[in-house]
């Protein structure tokens, strides 16, 4: 838990990041700038920001490493899973404390989740831009609940435990991870395979994707802190059999109708059938 207040230092960093074009075509990153840096503009009278982490590390791996999918997308869309939990939590608080004003957010709203998590003592921001927790690594989703309720606040984690390690920087296939904890989002494999809509992936990236068809986990897979990751127990994140078992041929022969049926509750639907086909074609030799 952290005290709700404007994030002035983050505002400067975000502005500098946007000015360098590191958001690529992700225009939404520049929208609602004032809302991102001040929780009181998202929830009038906000006093506290509650941060929650939800582990998504799977207990199984894909069998086909020639068509790789980010672990966060193995099961159901996390937005739906977490929104339901946040709604339940807010209702539980109201039942115990009384009527309060609050809103839950997960990823799709203008909230600087990692900063609030760090301010709540849940971890530090690593060189790859991910929040890292000493006990569980970084394979988790971050959600926030902003409320007009004063709480006892946790101490922020001020120490950076990455030390001199540069594994995430050294192993990034597209050299998207820059010094000083800056990530050029416009060079990230996840950006090209998920965020880049209705456009061809630049030929300059050919041969650099390391077989990632949807998202990328390289910087997390090589992070020493993720040796502490343990399989999640969230039924909503149970891996789809197709994601674990599909061969290259299965992906190539998949029809749009079967895609919509199989992945109707999956994060893969964000890229749409055409995007998956584009990505598949691009990573093939």
CA distance 14 to 259: 36
Place of tokens 């007009």: 148
Active site residues: 107
What's the length of the chain?
285
Which residue from 45, 2, 49 is spatially nearest to 148, judged by alpha carbons?
45
DSSP 139: -
* Residue 223: C-alpha distances to residues 69, 180, 190 (Å): 18, 17, 17
Residues 10, 37 contacting (CB under 8 angstroms): yes
Number of H helices, E strands in the chain: 11, 10
For residue 51, give the 3-state DSSP assignment. strand
Helix (H) or strand (E) holding 70: none
Tokens of 125: 């921001």
């Amino acid at each position: 838990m952290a005290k709700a207040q404007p994030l002035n230092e983050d505002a400067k960093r975000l502005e500098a990041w946007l000015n360098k074009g590191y958001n690529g075509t992700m225009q939404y990153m520049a929208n609602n700038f004032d809302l991102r840096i001040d929780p009181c503009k998202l929830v009038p009278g906000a006093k506290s920001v509650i941060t929650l982490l939800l582990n998504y590390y799977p207990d199984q791996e894909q069998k086909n490493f020639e068509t790789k999918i980010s672990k966060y997308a193995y099961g159901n869309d996390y937005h739906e899973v977490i929104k339901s939990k946040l709604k339940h939590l807010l209702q539980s608080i109201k039942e115990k404390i009384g009527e309060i004003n609050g809103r839950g957010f997960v990823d799709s709203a203008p909230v600087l989740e990692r900063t609030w998590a760090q301010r709540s003592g849940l971890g530090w921001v690593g060189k790859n831009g991910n929040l890292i927790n000493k006990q569980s690594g970084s394979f988790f989703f971050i959600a926030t609940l902003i409320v007009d309720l004063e709480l006892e606040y946790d101490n922020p984690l001020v120490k950076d435990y990455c030390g001199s390690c540069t594994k995430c920087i050294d192993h990034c296939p597209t050299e998207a991870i820059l010094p000083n904890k800056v990530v050029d989002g416009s060079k990230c494999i996840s950006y090209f395979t998920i965020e880049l809509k209705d456009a061809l992936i630049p030929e300059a990236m050919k041969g650099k994707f390391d077989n990632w068809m949807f998202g990328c986990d390289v910087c997390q897979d090589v992070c020493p802190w993720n040796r502490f990751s343990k399989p999640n127990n969230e039924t909503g994140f149970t891996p789809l059999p197709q994601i674990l078992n599909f061969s290259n041929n299965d992906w190539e022969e998949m029809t749009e109708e079967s895609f919509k049926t199989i992945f109707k509750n999956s994060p893969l639907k964000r890229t749409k059938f055409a995007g998956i086909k584009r990505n598949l074609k691009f990573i093939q030799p």
